[in-house]
Structure formats: C-alpha cells, structure tokens
A and B are shown apart, each in its own frame.
Chain A
Amino acid sequence: MADTALVTMTISELAPKIKAKAISPVELTEAVLAQVDRLQPVLNSFITILHDQARRQAREQEAALMRGEYRGPLHGIPIGIKDNIATAGIRTTVGSKVFTDYVPEEDAYVVSRCKEAGAIMIGKENLEEFAAGSTSNNLHYGAVHNPWNLDHIPGGSSGGGGANVAACVTFASLGTDLGGSVRGPANFCGVVGLKQTYGRVSQRGLLVTSFNGDHIGPITRSVQDSALMLQAIAGYDPLDPSTVPVPVPDFSALLGQELRGLKMGIPSNYYFDIIEPEVDTAVRQAIAALEALGVEAREVALPSMQYAGALRIAGMADSVVTHEPYLKTHRHDYGPTVLYRTLAGQFVLGRDYAKALKVQRLIKEEYARVLQDVDFLVTPASPVAAWRIDTETVALDGTAYPVRGPGAGMTARCTSPSNATGLPAMSIPCGFTRAGLPIGLQLIGRPFEEARLFQVAHGYEAVSPSRQRRPALVETG
C-alpha cells in the first residue's frame, strides 16, 4: 500500500487491518516517519521527534501481535503528545526556555495508558509557550503553521497536534485544554477536538497547569477515533483527586444510532454575539443539517453569560501562582506575551477571585438547568477562522481584538466557558471560508455524557461539507 494511502487512514480503519496483520506497525510507523520528515520543515509541528524510539516501539508492538497479544484499537498506531505532558526519559519543554532541558522521570498517566494500549509515540508536539495562548507562534521553538494555509496559525495552544492530525502526520494527538487549547486547534485545522467532562481523565503529569479547568484531550481526524482515544485514557486515577470515580462506558456505543428525537439548544445570547459572518453562516447551516437529521432545535437563553468575562479573573490569579517559582528564578527566560499576561495576575484581589468563583457556580447552574430541557448545545467553536501568523489583532464589527498576550481572549470566548462548567465539549469541522480555511462547530453536552456527543457528532460528520477534505500538502508537500 502506498504511503499516502496509509497515512490518510483513520484509526478505526487501521485497527482491524492491524489486528488481522494486514498492516504492520513497523510499516505504518515508517510511513508516518517519512511524512514527519517531509512536513516538519514546513509545519514546525514538533519540538522533539522520536525516530529511534518510535521504530523500537513499532517492533515491540509487531512482536506482540505475532505472539497473539492484541491490545486494542490503538495497537501499533503512531500518535503525537503535546510537549507539556510528561514523558519519561524524553525532554518536556512546555514550549518554554525555562524547561528546555527538563527530562521527566515518569510518564503522565495518559501517556502510560496510551503505551499500555499499544500506541507508538512519534514525538513531542510544538505549542504556545507554557500553553498560554491560541496562536502556537512560539518564540523559542518557532511558529507552527496551518496545513490549510501555511501563512496562518493552526490555533493553540495544542497547535502542533492540530497541524499534525490535519496533515496526516499523526493519527491522533494528545493535547491539553484550559480555555479551548484542544478544540481551538481542531477547529482551525479542520479536525475533531474533544474536551471531555472535567474529572473524566487524569491530569497527572500535565506540567505548569491550572488547578481549575485544565483537561488532557484527544485531537483526531474522525469522531469515531475521538471515542477510541477517550476510551484509552478515561478513568479514575487514585493519585489525581480531580478525577471522578464514575464508570467508564463504551464511548462508541451510540455511534450510528439515529439522531431523531434528540433536542439541541441554540443559545440566543453570547455565542453568536461576536462572530465573523462566514462562520455564522456555516454554523447555522450545520444546525439546519442536524434538524434535517431529525434533531429538534430549541432556542435557549444563558443570561449569566453576560458575566462570563469574570471567569478569567480566577485564571489570572491562578496563573501567577502557578508560575511563581519559575518567575522567581527564570523570569528572563519568559517571552513577553506570557510574562506580562501572567504578571497582571498579581494585582487580582482575593475578593474578586472569590466573586469569580461564585460567577463560575452561577454559570454552572444555568447550564445545568438548560441541559434539563435539551440534550446538547450547538455553538460556533470560534468566532473567527484562522488568522495570519503575523497578525496582532482581529477586527470584528469595527472592534480590534488582540490575539496574543495581554488583553487577548476573544478568539477563545466560545470554548473557554466549558472549562469553567466542566461540561464535555467537542469541535467538529463544518465547512470552510471562501479563503479555504476550516470552520468548526462546537457541541456541548451533559456531564459524563460524552457518548451522546459522539453520537451527534458522528451523525453530523457524515453530512458535513468538510467530510473527505484534506489539505493539499498531505499528498504534494
């Protein structure tokens, strides 16, 4: 089979062929490494590439198969890991100069789970410095480029993962999402990004993170693959008190079931208030497509979202405390956008921090009430499509919004609320702008009902105008 035919497959297509020994993990890994070597100079999507380790793991996985030890759908599948997730014996930079030589002694919990499932680690993926931003234009390791248009950002902070999955460099990537850092790159790169319910997946081994609202989640090329990845990493971790001891269901159980009878909520405020017309049109068309599939649409109001900006207050204070030890010793190693955005947090008053937490609770209650009446919400994944790498501001309705550093935040306004509520949310492709850049739809579900989200996303995926579309460089370089 030609290399391009191999690397453009999905995990769910590959898994039965690997199980049947029709495709070998070694052959697949070599095809992927060839794609890595061809596209890394173009995309700059990795900080560390693990040629030797990947080949060794592939041989081990192939040997296991030959012994009859099939480990499941991730067996022999090459994946990428964002470089703020700890990997034993492999440097983990967090996209920073501060950690440029840091080599963890242990794998993050999710990395261990992927290894146990037979996945092959191809490399550590580029990201925004300290995962703090939505451009992946990294001062220390260079900008990641969007495979659909190399002059544009891939989104962030898990930009390397989004670019790699879209460009068929990896079959899946593990990213992290504190305000949309999985769903954003998925949206901007035209692939599927999942932030599952807070507490569903262990954060142990996620470096320099927030204690409030961070998640490790998968980026994949299909909804079915997203369910397979979540299956591998979900579960209670007794060493991470943020995980919740709830049963882990079969996340693929509802795939293919018809959507007729489900109810979707379309927010009448906040999510569509600031939006590029092309994005608005594509998302409205996706809503119409869901209605055509039998989903009942209901308008829902989320009045407390007028205070959603307050959610950032807690994040500001949290960020300065998270960075405090590194700022004391390595301040000069910080890039200015992260440094000054972080240092603003030292002026947040405790009273305001407590108010922000109470606003978080108000908003959680409101979503809980709304989700009693509908099964899920539909929103844009971002108000805008990917902007140029050299852009400092994006203009919407005559207002210029900064997209980097202090004051930035508009581009994540549709994704960040689900970090505060903890609700599962995913971004799936729903079309393109006239300039050929991807547009994403966001689905938000009830706590621990990821299987329902997968059902809806899978049903929509089959009729999405993005289906079967790939960036031209996948084949041509």
Chain B
Amino acid sequence: MSIPNETLQAMIRSYHGFALTDDELELVRPELESYLQEVEKLRELALANVMSGRLLQAQEGGTP
C-alpha cells in the first residue's frame, strides 16, 4: 500500500502540517512506507480489549 503524493499534500494542507515538496516527500517515503507496513500487520490483530499500559507501572505518588 502506498499513499499518493496528492493525498499527502492534501493532508498537509487540511491538517496544517509542515509543507513538503514532491521531491521532499520522496525523502520522507521510506519512513512512511515502514509505518504503513506495520499498520498492515496490525489489521487482523484484536486490540479492543487490551488495557492501559500504565497498569504495569508501580503506584505513583506518595512518599519515596
């Protein structure tokens, strides 16, 4: 899956992002493609019932 430059440019305009020329988008693309590949792996993974990561932390506050 790849996102066309036009879509990325529209996102930048609509969401007040940092402007990128089409040439610069090519420099961003390896990181972007890596992101999209990881998202694809998560497509079938059930995450709805996963709880907050904070629960594994020790209790905060109080006296050290």
Contacts and interface: CB of A to CB of B under 8 A. Distances in A.
A235 interface: yes
A348 B33 CA distance: 11
A247 B27 contact: no
Interface stretch (A63-71, A304-312, A428-436): A304-312
Interface string B1-45: 001000010011001011010001001111111110111011001
Interface in A328-356: 331, 336, 340-341, 343-344, 346-348, 352, 355
B38 A406 contact: no
Interface stretch (A184-192, A272-280, A359-367, A462-470): A359-367
Contacts of B41: 306-307, 309-310
A406 B32 CA distance: 8
Interface residues of B, number: 38
Interface in B33-60: 33-35, 37-39, 41-42, 45, 47, 50-53, 56-60
Contacts of B47: 355, 358-359, 362
Contact of B61 (A245, A343, A355): A245
B29 A406 contact: yes
A402 B28 contact: no
User: For B11, B12, B41, B50, which residue has the most chain A Cβ atoms within 10 angstroms?
Assistant: B50
A406 B31 contact: yes
Contacts of A246: 58, 64
A42 B61 CA distance: 47
Contacts, number: 113
User: For A307, A336, A358, which residue has the most chain B Cβ atoms within 10 angstroms?
Assistant: A358
A312 B30 contact: no
B29 A347 contact: no
B18 A360 contact: no
8 contacts: A199-B57, A309-B34, A316-B31, A343-B24, A347-B8, A361-B56, A406-B27, A447-B58
Given A344-B35, A346-B18, A347-B8, 18 more contacts: A244-B60, A245-B59, A245-B63, A309-B38, A310-B38, A310-B42, A313-B39, A316-B31, A340-B24, A343-B24, A346-B12, A347-B11, A355-B39, A361-B52, A361-B56, A362-B47, A422-B56, A422-B57
Interface of B: 3, 8, 11-12, 15, 17-18, 20, 24, 27-35, 37-39, 41-42, 45, 47, 50-53, 56-64
Ordered nearest first, which 4 A-B pairs have the shortest CB separation? A407-B30, A344-B31, A236-B64, A406-B31
Interface of A: 199, 235-236, 241, 244-247, 306-307, 309-310, 312-313, 316, 320, 327, 331, 336, 340-341, 343-344, 346-348, 352, 355, 357-362, 364-365, 368, 402, 405-407, 409, 422, 447-448
